[in-house]
Structure 1
Amino acid sequence: MANVATSKKACTVNPLKMSQPIGGTLAFMGIRGSMPLLHGSQGCTSFGLVLFVRHFREAIPMQTTAMSEVATVIGGFENVEQAVVNIANRTKPEIIGICSTGVTETKGDDVEGFIKLIRQRHPELDHIALVYVSTPDFKDAFQDGWQKTVAKIVDEIVDVPAPGAERDKRRINVLPGCHLTPGDIEELREIILAFGLEPTFLPDLSGSLDGHIPDDFTPTTLGGVGLPEIAAMGSAGFTIAVGNHMHRAAEAMEKKTGVPYAVFDRLTGLTPNDELMSLLASLSGQAVPNKFRRQRSQLIDAMLDGHFSFGGKKIAVGAEPDLMWAISSWLTEMGAEITAAVTTTASPLLEKMPTQDVLIGDLEDLEARAADCDLIITHSHGRQAAERLGIPLFRYGLPTFDRLGAAHRVSVGYRGSRDLIFEIGNIFMADGHEPDENTWRQVDEHADSDGAAAAAH
């Protein structure tokens, strides 16, 4: 069991975490026809906008209530009303997702009350969903904002099935965590479809931020899950949540609609994907398709090929709790050692981390603990620390702005886990950590003995 501590420094140096409203905004971007709206100053929205543009390299729809000092003191109703009306008239969204920020939370704006009054004064907006999420950026972190937003969408948009209505057992709800990329979501969709099941993802970044070229310009999100599909999730047969922080949304779904659920704290590695395949086979009544059996065999072979490069390596990881848990658990299974772990917010997973200590801190804390490591794993803001220490950096998580293809990286499923072995293993080999001749000789002797034993048997 890891010891979990929180940094007591007077200030954050080289921040690791991103704020709650940014996490909530990204969740709204997984809905078709959405316009995220940050209730705060223009600078709050500009920061998030630049971060997303640099990571996804796409046009990002975001708006702000543009709170000034005077408006903040007086109250933000007029700013919220004007922003909602202008967005409705100019961009024609299906949903406006409103996230609070630190300045408006400190003032204590009653945004839920604002929305009720706006509804009364502007009946022409009845066809637009208005969803408000309290996401103060002076507490918690990115994945907290994401989980609150998904849970709120479930509470407000998912319909309660009629009494006695029969569930469609072929339909599966999937609630992906914020640590999954659009590429991860697409991989999970292909896996579920292969079992003859019909998945609905909430949110679905694979439809809106997967880097495609639209036929026509739209000022809102380019794709994602639609409001009718979200409303119908209450009649699905089962819910799969990916990431411990998605417990809240899965529980909200079950409480409101009665749909049972299972939570996978990670889908990187052999065992959790075996469990996923077993669940999907049970839900569909079908055998696991042969292509996944072959992918499993490929993953095992890659683990055998790669564990000599991973064995005994000391690794420092800085990431959101669920992302850190997924990559660290997998690295430990590959024979590596997590000697430095720094994260952004509290989580039940932190005490289970395969390391001695976990610190809720910043990248300066990670740098101080990573001096004797063989690899640093964090997002692109860790590049300066890696350069100072002379240690290779594996860019993982959001934001990754100095490399192409971050949105398309896949690290879930058998294929994603296999490719992750190759990516990180190649970094070790390029940095002079390739196994020596004695190690390869032992491998050959082991293979020869296994082959002879198999032949004799």
Structure 2
Amino acid sequence: MTNNPPKKNYVSTTNACKLCTPLGASLAFKGVEGAVPFLHGSQGCATYMRRYIISHYREPIDIASSALGEKNAIYGGGPNLKKGILNVMKKYNPTMVGVASTCLTETIGDDMRLILHEFRQEFGDLDLPDVVHVSTPSFQGTHSDGFHLAVHAMVDQLADPAAAKGEVTADRVAVFPGMTTPGNIRVIKDVVREYGLTATILPDVSETLDGPTLEDYEPIAPGGTPVKEIKALPGVFASLEFGSCLLPKTGGICLEDRFGVSNHRLPVPLGIRGADALHEVLCEIAALDDMPRRYELERGRLVDAYVDGHKYVFGKKAVVYGDENLVVAVTAFLAEIGIRPVLVGTGAEGKGVAKAIESLCGDLLPEMPVVREGVDFYDIAAEAGTMSPDIVFGNSKGQRYAREWNVPLVRLGFPIHDRFGGQRLKTFSYEGTQELYDRVVNALIAKKQSDSPIGWGYI
């Protein structure tokens, strides 16, 4: 007989360790050239999301809305959705409109597929943009789920063998990097190019969410994955997608199931093991015996840095929180460098985080950390406060708890509101891992100095 603990009664969330599902979808759509994210729901949803995204990326962000009111909640939001798309066409002239549902429209049962079918029939005489729709109610899933669902929707609804002219290009790959920074997208572009390959990265936010200053305001930021490349994805030689806790339906899986494109599901390329896995696959695709000399040197310098900084990090205890794929990758990185993760928390549920950690780095850990899924910051703080952590890893939402515990917070993920440059942080490949490792070591050194009555010293 199994003695299972009684199921806890539902308690309202206090400072959620996740954001809403359509926000993630909006970020994915922002990585497509000429695209406008469009929320089918109330105006407040779009306003809230713009505020959050602008604060992190420090770029102008437009998210259109069907702006439903009380009347639409009763009679349906179809007319508003159609009119809203027409208004977006008039103001932005987009190549694609990415429509994401919200709690309101999912609750009242709007059939977006049917509404958009009617829209195409009614306005087929116009030069219509591609319209992609995705179901993203916030009462189901997280912003990370919304991101991956939107990527899958774009591949599923746009990819067309005819656009690839029935041919497979041997040096072309698709990369689905997951929800990451523009800085990391630039790293991946550089890595793939170094192997002599051409990548279609979906989504590509390297410019759309981290662009240069322009003399004149442009309604849609330059950059992003061209829609024609998304349509031609059936012609790529292989696809790569990053993450250890991905949804069953992803862009890579869609390409494999529908078009026979070989999919390589890899852990997030953070840490030596994570980066090694990426470079091994690229060597295989590019038919190379060894990685380019540049990366051999980067890897060697990273190993040397691990040795040099070992005395500062070894044996420290860490709390890690955030998106499920990020926390697994960070935990594996900490296991490599000798920091002991004691608590790993995520707002996502049912993603197999503990199993992924065990598979990825269980052999490096003296004992498995406590893993909590579906938790908020109240739960994380209550448990972590008894563990005496030395350092915390996660986004800005955990700042108050790191301050209470008097330990450094190494900021990663989304959102980062209380520091500058969150959109440029790098963690991918050996280059990004090196930058993160330096930040970790320096955070611990700074803490040691601030606690010393002497202050500065030769450490």
TM-score, length basis structure 1: 0.90
With over 3 angstroms needed to count, the CA separation of the structure-2 counterparts of 1:291 and 1:162, relative to structure 1, is closer
1:325 and 2:339 are equivalent in the alignment: no
Any idea what the Cα deviations from partners look like across 1:61-92, whole Å, max 9, x if unmatched?
21111111121111001110110111111110
Q: Quick one: distance in 2 between partners of 1:246 and 1:289? A: 33
Q: Quick one: distance in 1 between partners of 2:167 and 2:57? A: 40
Q: Does the CA-based 8 Å contact 1:161-1:257 persist in structure 2?
A: no
Alignment equivalent of 1:362, drawn from 376, 388, 392: 376
Q: Quick one: distance in 2 between partners of 1:391 and 1:221? A: 39
With over 3 angstroms needed to count, the CA separation of the structure-2 counterparts of 1:6 and 1:229, relative to structure 1, is farther
Q: Which residue of 1 aligns with 2:226?
A: 226
Give the letter aligned to residue 325 of structure 1: V
Q: Which residue of 1 aligns with 2:417?
A: 401
Deviation (angstroms), 1:211: 3.1
Q: Does the CA-based 8 Å contact 2:163-2:228 persist in structure 1?
A: no
- Indicate the SS of the match to 1:263: strand
Of residues 336-345 and 159-168 in structure 1, the stretch that sits farther from structure 2 once superposed is 159-168
1:376 and 2:392 are equivalent in the alignment: yes
Q: Quick one: distance in 2 between partners of 1:6 and 1:374? A: 32
Question: Within 5 Å, which residues of 2 pair with 1:21-420?
Answer: 21-160=22-161, 165-178=166-179, 180-214=180-214, 216-244=216-244, 245=246, 248-286=250-288, 287-346=290-349, 347-353=351-357, 354-371=368-385, 372-420=388-436
- May I ask how many residue pairs the two structures share in their alignment? 431
Give the letter aligned to residue 72 of structure 1: A
Q: Quick one: distance in 2 between partners of 1:86 and 1:127? A: 12
Q: Quick one: distance in 2 between partners of 1:84 and 1:129? A: 11
Q: Quick one: distance in 1 between partners of 2:136 and 2:221? A: 21
Give the letter aligned to residue 88 of structure 1: M
Of residues 346-355 and 165-174 in structure 1, the stretch that sits farther from structure 2 once superposed is 346-355
Q: Does the CA-based 8 Å contact 1:88-1:125 persist in structure 2?
A: no
Q: Point out which structure has higher relative CO (alpha carbons under 8 A, 6+ apart).
A: 1
With over 3 angstroms needed to count, the CA separation of the structure-2 counterparts of 1:361 and 1:433, relative to structure 1, is farther
Give the letter aligned to residue 224 of structure 1: G
Any idea what the Cα deviations from partners look like across 1:29-87, whole Å, max 9, x if unmatched?
00011110111111111110000000000001211111111211110011101101111
Give the letter aligned to residue 406 of structure 1: G
Of residues 380-389 and 46-55 in structure 1, the stretch that sits farther from structure 2 once superposed is 380-389
Q: Does the CA-based 8 Å contact 1:253-1:259 persist in structure 2?
A: yes
Q: Does the CA-based 8 Å contact 2:185-2:204 persist in structure 1?
A: yes
Q: Which residue of 2 aligns with 1:444?
A: none
Of residues 198-207 and 302-311 in structure 1, the stretch that sits farther from structure 2 once superposed is 302-311
Q: Quick one: distance in 2 between partners of 1:246 and 1:129? A: 25
Moved runs in structure 1, 4+ residues, more than 4 A? 5-9, 161-164
- Indicate the SS of the match to 2:110: coil
Deviation (angstroms), 1:123: 1.6
Deviation (angstroms), 1:9: 4.7
Q: Which runs of 5+ in 1 are unaligned?
A: 437-457
- Indicate the SS of the match to 2:206: helix
Give the letter aligned to residue 49 of structure 2: G
Q: Does the CA-based 8 Å contact 1:20-1:145 persist in structure 2?
A: yes
Deviation (angstroms), 1:258: 1.2
Deviation (angstroms), 1:139: 1.4
Give the letter aligned to residue 309 of structure 1: Y
Q: Quick one: distance in 2 between partners of 1:67 and 1:7? A: 36
Q: Quick one: distance in 2 between partners of 1:171 and 1:46? A: 38
Give the letter aligned to residue 442 of structure 2: N
Q: Does the CA-based 8 Å contact 1:376-1:392 persist in structure 2?
A: yes
Give the letter aligned to residue 359 of structure 1: E
Deviation (angstroms), 1:216: 4.4
- Indicate the SS of the match to 1:431: helix
Give the letter aligned to residue 323 of structure 2: E
Q: Quick one: distance in 2 between partners of 1:209 and 1:44? A: 20
Q: Quick one: distance in 1 between partners of 2:96 and 2:50? A: 19
Q: Does the CA-based 8 Å contact 2:164-2:231 persist in structure 1?
A: no
Q: Quick one: distance in 2 between partners of 1:206 and 1:357? A: 32
Q: Percent identity?
A: 30
- Indicate the SS of the match to 1:123: coil
Deviation (angstroms), 1:163: 11
Q: Quick one: distance in 2 between partners of 1:251 and 1:122? A: 33
- Indicate the SS of the match to 1:267: coil
Q: Which runs of 5+ in 2 are unaligned?
A: 358-367, 453-459
Deviation (angstroms), 1:121: 1.1
With over 3 angstroms needed to count, the CA separation of the structure-2 counterparts of 1:184 and 1:377, relative to structure 1, is same
With over 3 angstroms needed to count, the CA separation of the structure-2 counterparts of 1:46 and 1:130, relative to structure 1, is same
With over 3 angstroms needed to count, the CA separation of the structure-2 counterparts of 1:213 and 1:333, relative to structure 1, is same
With over 3 angstroms needed to count, the CA separation of the structure-2 counterparts of 1:123 and 1:400, relative to structure 1, is same
With over 3 angstroms needed to count, the CA separation of the structure-2 counterparts of 1:351 and 1:285, relative to structure 1, is closer
Q: Quick one: distance in 2 between partners of 1:366 and 1:126? A: 51
Deviation (angstroms), 1:309: 1.6
Give the letter aligned to residue 58 of structure 2: R
- Indicate the SS of the match to 2:232: helix
TM-score, length basis structure 2: 0.90
Q: Quick one: distance in 1 between partners of 2:163 and 2:14? A: 53
Give the letter aligned to residue 332 of structure 1: A
Deviation (angstroms), 1:292: 0.7
Q: Does the CA-based 8 Å contact 1:158-1:232 persist in structure 2?
A: yes
Q: Quick one: distance in 2 between partners of 1:197 and 1:310? A: 37
Q: Quick one: distance in 2 between partners of 1:105 and 1:165? A: 38
